[in-house]
Chains A and B, each alone.
Chain A
Amino acid sequence: MRGFPLLMAAAAGLALLIAPGPIPAAHAQTEVALTIENNRFQPEEIKVKAGAAWVLVITNKDKGPEEFESKDLRIERVIPAGKTVRLRMPALKTGAYGFVGEYHEKTAKGRIVAE
């Protein structure tokens, strides 16, 4: 347990190091916005260019948290209520990649199409 605060500090430090901050290179990447509202994604289909890294900017406008989950992309990410999270996305091959809001799987569904 003594290691835990250390772990948190290390993780935070690492986050600061590799996070896309005011580093010029980060500007080159396309940003795509995705909104969560009424337990649904808007838009439900995102089109991106295949082969180029990009940034997915998810805003949760609902009162409760949502988990953006994509089994295809190995991403599981909680978006707290009212917050915006920027996820750095890898360059994708041509194809469709599904995602869901795990906390409201019935309504919150969508897919990313890389072409």
Chain B
Amino acid sequence: MGATFVITLREAFEASLILGIVYTYLDKIGARDQYRHVTLGGVLGLLASVGLGVGIGFLSGPLLDLGPDLITAAVIFLAVGLLTWHAWWMQQHARAIRGHVQLRIDEARATQRLWIVTLIAFTGVFREGAETVLFLWGLMAQASSASGWANVLGGVAGVGTAAALGWTIFRGGHHLSLPHFFAATTVLIMLLAAGLFSTGVGRLQGLGFLPMTDALWDTSWLLSDRGLVGGFLGGLVGYRAQPSAFEAGAYALYLVAAGFLLFGHLFAAPETNGQPAAERTPARRD
């Protein structure tokens, strides 16, 4: 029972974090009435997971050999792109608030962005969803004994605990001011997306699109990424006990690029308020 609990908890934790980010985002900008956009994305992600889980049983030949791997890799990079976009948008918004340029939220623009929130929720759930669905499915198929059902129970409890954890983390963001919440979430998204990006690059290595390299270091003696704590850190900040050079490089590269994109203005425009306006305008033009 314990083993299945850990597996589903590990798989579902990242999804619950991502859902937490977007739900709380809507809450903070005063758009709780738009929660259904996130819920819709999550439900669609779940349906797609079940669909893929069932569908792969019907595939054969090259489609079965490579199709699921390519879909997984595509979803990972899509999630990285969407999360980065979301963080960038939050930064624009935070700067607008800080500069007292525009205090109210532009309703129309916020509404136009809701499909991104839906997509983020979708990719968050779908990324490891099919695996989790198949895992639980397999447990149920083999649950003929009492211990078998205990395994199923453990698996379901793992998903539930992951959801509760995601929720708890974001309850903490409740009393932060909007700019502080945006800043904290942006940092969290950066770390999460950096981890995802490095996972995606690792997958490309596994698929043979990038050459194999040795592990750069091995900290599995200290903290295994298969355990509970290591698994959490894996979801949260992309911790890996034996990263390849490509994975570590991708992580660093993403952090530098995203850091520049999201926080570059902090260093670029130190004092005058009027000067860096030119650099900001593209953000507000649409």
Residues of chain A at the chain B interface (Cβ within 8 Å): 1, 3-4, 7-8, 10-12, 14-16, 18-21, 53, 63-67, 70-78, 80-81, 83, 85-93, 102-103, 105-106
Contacts and interface: CB of A to CB of B under 8 A. Distances in A.
Contact of B131 (A12, A67, A74, A105): A67
* CB-CB nearest 10 A-B residue pairs: A19-B62, A64-B138, A74-B206, A74-B202, A11-B70, A15-B66, A75-B206, A80-B57, A65-B134, A15-B67
Interface stretch (B20-28, B92-100, B208-216): B208-216
Given A15-B62, A80-B57, A90 B67 contact: no
Contacts of A7: 71, 74-75, 78
A11 B67 contact: yes
B183 interface: no
Interface in B26-65: 41, 44, 48, 53, 56-57, 60-65
A90 B211 contact: yes
16 contacts: A1-B115, A11-B67, A11-B70, A11-B71, A15-B62, A20-B65, A53-B208, A64-B138, A67-B135, A71-B226, A74-B206, A76-B131, A77-B69, A78-B56, A78-B130, A103-B134
Contact of B60 (A53, A75, A78, A83): A83
Contacts of B225: 71
Q: Interface residues of B: mostly helix, strand, loop or mixed? A: helix
Contacts of B108: none
B173 interface: no
User: Interface size class for chain B?
Assistant: 35 or more
A68 B139 CA distance: 16
Contacts of B66: 15, 18-19
B62 A90 contact: no
A70 B203 CA distance: 11
A73 B74 contact: no
